[in-house]
Structure 1
Amino acid sequence: MIDVVLPCLDEAASLPMLLTRLPSGYRPIVADNGSTDGSAEVARLHGATVVHVPERGFGAAAHAGLLVATAEVVCFLDADGSLDPQQLPRVAGPVVNGLADLVLGRRRPTVRAAWPWHARVGNRVLARRLRRRTGVPLRDLGPMRAARRASLLGLELRDRRFGYPLEMVTSAAAAGWRIAEVEVDYAPRTAGSRSKVTGTVAGTARAVLDMSRVLAR
């Protein structure tokens, strides 16, 4: 069994598709970060474990889901419908098979509109800075990722905002982890869902600022 943490804020429109497309052996944990659209109820109806996270922030939700997980291997997946749960084995496989300690899904847009220009530029800048700091040849700070639960907890990640995914990589690199990248499809998010990061220029700027603070530590 593999646990899948889905940080969630108002994603009722995309959750049914995501939760019904999870591969066999993958167990969903929806970390609800204060949704007002019934996301928690939708998640429960589709068999997910729901954890309510009162502290606002992507990292707060992601880490709360990690704490609730019990499987040896844990995946993280955005809840906006832009990533296909059927491709989770691509990122989990190398961890399960002992070939890598942390695997990120490098996003390959299925259509150009899936990845707005401002988000693409922000990701490229941060990935370049990350490569310079850690020497890890990553091209994307992919939101679909996998690692062993006990090892992740051992990193003692502190960021509770958008810097959490980047802190995971920098801390893993500092600990000597084997970090790998595999390609995954990146599609337009579900109708009615808007990314809190890539959906607007302001959202992207906020995420870049949070991640820059992590790199500056």
Structure 2
Amino acid sequence: MDEAAALPEVLGRIPAGWRAIVVDNGSTDGSAGLARSLGATVVHEPRRGFGSACHAGLLAADAQYVCFCDCDGSLDPGLLPDLVSQVHHGKADLVLGRRRPQGRGAWPPHARAGNLALARMLRRRTGLRLHDLGPMRAARRDDLLALDLTDRRSGYPLQMVVRAADAGLRVSETAVPYLPRTGKSKVTGTWRGTWHAVRDMRAVLRQPPVPQQPSPRTGTTP
């Protein structure tokens, strides 16, 4: 939503031969038209929310492997092939980019504190020893669809990790540089935004495990 300032650089770093799907979640700055002019497939998602946008992109994808990446210039999509390679070669089923701040203001203290608290709660809930719930990630599309993700707000990325762990998928993280974003954050740029995100994610952690669907690759339920 409203990322016209960052779109040219972000889309310019998409690996050659990859399909970029940009989800427009109510932009008023011409982001949709700009993304389309730069060669991206644009999906319009009228329901507001980070999870709504992410899931719309997942449903619009048709590749075996899918990736998520913020479109604010803070992350380099040119690094995505490494994440996909780890999934393709069987090192993990879901790979998260562990953010390493580069430069002043890249990761505000309140956002980092909220992330750390959630990582600790996630460890208690799932046993996963992750340090970051980073927005850059890669997985097989069928694996993610089988998780039956339902959160459409800020809890979506956490629900993905929790349900992946419950399903027996292997979750790992790899370090990626994290730069100051272009423009103002609509989620964690303020204490209030961070509080809302943490609230949504804590609600996800309180949810009981759900029965898992059979794995699309093995036909068995972990």
Q: TM-score, normalised by structure 2?
A: 0.91
Q: CA RMSD in A?
A: 0.8
2:157 corresponds in structure 1 to 165
Asked whether 1:53 is paired with 2:45, we answer yes
Residue 82 of structure 1, CA deviation? 0.4
1:10 corresponds in structure 2 to 2
2:121 corresponds in structure 1 to 129
Larger radius of gyration: 2
Percent of aligned pairs with the same amino acid = 65
Asked whether 1:154 is paired with 2:146, we answer yes
Q: Deviations over 1:38-82 (max 9, x none)?
A: 000110011000000011100001000100000000000001110
1:199 corresponds in structure 2 to 189
Q: Deviations over 1:137-193 (max 9, x none)?
A: 110001000000011001000000000000000000000001110000000012xx2
Equivalents in 2 of 1:35, 1:209: separation in Å? 25
Equivalents in 2 of 1:112, 1:141: separation in Å? 21
2:215 corresponds in structure 1 to none
Equivalents in 1 of 2:53, 2:172: separation in Å? 24
Aligned residue-pair number: 207
Asked whether 1:106 is paired with 2:84, we answer no
Moved over 4 A (4+): none
1:5 corresponds in structure 2 to none
More strand by percentage: 1
Q: Is the 8 A contact 1:102 1:146 kept in 2?
A: yes
Instruction: Indicate the SS of the match to 1:26.
Output: coil
1:84 corresponds, among 64, 67, 76, to 76
2:130 corresponds in structure 1 to 138
Residue 132 of structure 1, CA deviation? 1.1
